Amino acid sequence: MKRRAFLKTASLAGTATLISQKTPAQSPASGPKDSGTPAQGPVIISTWDFGRAVPETAFQTLMKGGTVIDAVERAVMIPEADPEVTTVGYGGYPDRNGKVTLDACIMNGNGDCGAVVFLENIMHPVSVARLVMEKTQHVVLAGEGALQFALENGFKKMNLLTPDAEAAYKEWLKTSDYKPPQASEHNHDTIGLLAMDGKGNMAGACTTSGMAWKIRGRVGDSPLIGAGLYVDNDVGGATATGIGEAVIKVAGSFLIVELMRNGKSPQEACRIALERIVHKQPRYAEKDGFVAGFVAMTKEGQIGAMSYRKGLRYSLCKDGVVSIVDADYMVK
């Protein structure tokens, strides 16, 4: 069942010459493996293909002396601001009341973390989450309170519902069928991104507009530390995509980090977490549109990525090379 098809690689040489003196690595002939020699420099991995600019931005931020938190924040801000991306930030599909509500979190490898849930009218929830982490004694701010906190800290209110998303919503209203669109190559779902700076410092960020047409107030896995994201400099990190409820039920990202702590490779750990989901709740496996997947990385820069069903891609930047790779999967 396993398949790891290499799709596209591109050296960062063109864009990174000014910021890196090292000779860029050649594009690999096949998708990266989950184990092998520790990385020599930064490693960045994220769910789906949101474009080369995402891993490049994280890489360049690190090369210019930014922190891993800077790197993960700036990278995920790209899909947050992209009106074409219907599952993250601006342009995200709304809930069943026609409101775009955003969830995001950010975490470093020392256990510092911040999150916002059910945030409206702010384009960059990840940046608000970072401020929660850095400026407050709390971890999570929700809804109106999160919005108030954002406005007090200089964020500007804006309408996040693009004309395209509004048109899709109006189309959905014709049936009001509460069936979220299936995540696929063209419907990317959440971005979860992990970065390691080459000195063993790790961070992650996870941001989403959540499930389209969700019940108002619904919060998924993405902003929940331990579910959508977990990072520990002693071990590594993991982040999730797909149906958030399934991921929450097994504390998926925390589970993967703990499995790696106990000696599992990132790839094995991702697989075990997916097996746990369907073992505990077999109804997920019976559902045609069920999508769940994880990407993971050790503090040495070894990576893993796996989805329940075929279709998850991930973006990787390792040794200065960006790859977009098909993840392994359990079921076709």
Cα(first)–Cα(last) distance of the chain, in Å? 8
Q: Does 95 bind ligand GLY (CB under 6 A)?
A: no
266/259 Cα distance (integer angstroms) = 8
Q: Which long-range contacts (CB under 8 A, 24 or more apart) does 64-71 make?
A: 64/19, 67/197, 67/201, 67/203, 68/108, 68/109, 68/195, 68/196, 68/197, 68/201, 68/202, 68/203, 69/106, 69/108, 69/130, 69/203, 71/42, 71/44, 71/195, 71/197, 71/203
Tokens (6 digits) for 253: 């990202």
Q: Does 211 bind ligand GLY (CB under 6 A)?
A: yes
H-only helix segments in 64-178: 68-81, 125-135, 143-152, 163-173
Cβ 87 to ligand GLY shortest distance, Å: 8
**According to the 3-state scheme, what is the secondary structure of 227-292?**
CCEEEECCCEEEEEEECHHHHHHCCHHHHHHHHHHCCCCHHHHHHHHHHHHHHHCHHHHHCCCCCE
Tell whether residue 253 is a contact of ligand GLY (CB under 6 A). no
Smallest separation (angstroms) from ligand GLY to the CB of 252: 10
- Residue recorded with tokens 């096949």: 30
Q: What is the smallest separation between the CB atom of 248 and ligand GLY, expressed in angstroms?
A: 8
Taking CB under 6 A as the rule, does residue 241 contact ligand GLY?
yes
Examine residue 204 and tell whether it contacts ligand GLY (CB under 6 A): no
Q: Out of 86, 190, 208, 298, which one is annotated catalytic? A: 190
Q: Is 162 annotated in the active site?
A: no
**DSSP class of residue 157?**
P
With CB under 6 A as the rule, give the number of residues binding ligand GLY: 12
The answer to the question of residue 208 lying near ligand GLY (CB under 6 A) is yes
Q: Is 42 in the site for ligand GLY (CB under 6 A)?
A: no
- In the bound complex, what is the minimum distance in angstroms from residue 190's beta carbon to ligand GLY? 4
Task: State yes or no: residue 101 binds ligand GLY (CB under 6 A).
Answer: no
Contacting range for ligand GLY; rule: CB under 6 A; set: 58-66, 125-133, 143-151, 238-246: 238-246
Instruction: Give the residue at shortest CB distance from ligand GLY.
Output: 220
Alpha-carbon span 56 to 71, nearest angstrom: 10
How far is CA 234 from each of CA 34, 131, 237, 259, 298, rounded to the nearest angstrom?
18, 24, 10, 13, 9
Examine residue 244 and tell whether it contacts ligand GLY (CB under 6 A): yes
Q: Which is nearer to ligand GLY, 273 or 321 (CB)?
A: 273
- Per CB under 6 A, the list member of 55, 242, 304, 320 interacting with ligand GLY is 242
Nearer to ligand GLY, 79 or 210 (CB): 210
190 binds ligand GLY (CB under 6 A): yes
Question: In this complex, which beta carbon is closest to ligand GLY, that of residue 5 or of residue 215?
Answer: 215
The residue within the footprint of ligand GLY, chosen from 80, 95, 120, 221 (CB under 6 A), is 221
Note the residues at the interface with ligand GLY (CB under 6 A): 189-190, 208, 210-211, 220-222, 241-244
| Catalytic residue list | 190
